[in-house]
Amino acid sequence: MPRLDDVARAAGVSKATASRALSGADGVSPATRAKVQRVADELGFRASGAARRLATGLTRTIGVLTPSVDRWYFGSVLHGIAHAADSHEHDVLLYDLGAFGHGGHEKFERFMRRGEVDGLVTITWSLVGGDLTRLAELSIPVATVGEPTPHTRSFCLDDDAAGRQATEHLVRLGHTDLLHLASQTEVQPFDASSSDRRKRAFEAVSAEHGLRMRPVRTVPTTLEGAHAVALHFLDRPDRPTGIVAGTDEVALGVMLAAHQLGIRVPEELSVVGVDDVPSAAPFGLTTIRQDPAQHGEDVVAWIMGAMRSRGRRGGDASQPDRSHTGYAPELVVRASTAPPRP
């Protein structure tokens, strides 16, 4: 294995200069840095992460805490984070806290003990409020994706606007008997989850238009779980003419149940979801679109900017950025909604 001495000798520079060039430290001209890197590539030399950190104080690693990796939302955010981190020549250190945060506190403590990342992203997960406060006190940029939080910089869909758009779409079509199927809350440490905000928006629009107020039903977030519940409440004569689902998975579960019960969508039942998952288009689901991958990319961009800013201030983090970015939802009309049958 080639050593740093070999690279320095071949490049005609001192070992200290070679180290600074390969670690990204200051004090090296662009031409020298490029020459040293070219020689290192030719020799097959790779600087260790520990050596790079000693020289620059950086690990070139972004930590991510997530409750799951196999659900559409979380996977999409991770895709955006990984893509953006790679473009900045950073690696991603993933901590899967367990489905919906079960057992996550122990993994969180393990992360806190290691703490070898330049920035941290938390994707909606279930930890106690004290843990969130501790994250905000880390001496690195910390951001949350999926929920607005006063503890850290945060990015997420404007869920109030999403719930309002979905409900108003059915009202404009002429529906007066609506039901909201809220997805089970996956995040608890915040004052209100995305599901809560969409529910409140539905209730507000219904009240504004004087609609019949059916009790909101909370169903499992998965297609399978929502489908099982929908089979029961759709198989009755007093079913609503329109359903606002908390997520696309819930909406697709409802559409499947309706099909099995012989209920025509949208002639006898209109259904609208939230997310615009890949399967929404082929099933003709009207939905509210969001782009979690873009959210992930934006978070990384913010972390990189925060790191540069801290570097200029000499690491001063006395006034952390706790602002929030809310993304405007987009209504995508497809074949699952229509005016109610006379």
Task: State pLDDT tens for residues 67-87.
Answer: 888 889 999 999 999 999 999
> Whole-angstrom Cα distance, residue 292 to residue 330?
13
**Bigger pLDDT: 231 or 221?**
231
Task: Give residues with Cβ within 8 angstroms of 302, minimum separation 6.
Answer: 141, 143, 153, 155, 321
Is this structure's pTM higher than 0.85? Answer: no
Q: Say what the alpha-carbon torsion angle 289, 268, 242, 274 is, to the nearest 10 degrees.
A: -20
Structural domain boundaries of the chain? 4-47, 61-157+293-327, 159-290
Which superfamily does CATH assign the domain made up of 4-47 to? lambda repressor-like DNA-binding domains (1.10.260.40)
Strand runs labelled E in 177-282: 178-183, 217-219, 242-245, 270-275
pLDDT at 191 over 60: no
Higher pLDDT, 190 or 7: 7
Distance (Å, whole) CA 122 – CA 144: 5
**Closest to 180 measured CA to CA, from 244, 236, 252:** 244
What integer pLDDT is reported at residue 152 of this predicted model? Answer: 86
> What would the mean pLDDT of 131-136 be, rounded to a whole number?
72
In CATH terms, the superfamily for domain 159-290 is Response regulator (3.40.50.2300)
CATH of 61-157+293-327, one of 1.10.600.10, 2.20.25.160, 3.40.50.2300, 3.30.70.20: 3.40.50.2300
**Res. 1: pLDDT tops 90:** no
Q: 104 pLDDT exceeds 80?
A: no
Domains 61-157+293-327 and 159-290 share a fold: yes
Strands 286-289 and 330-332, how do they pair?
A: antiparallel
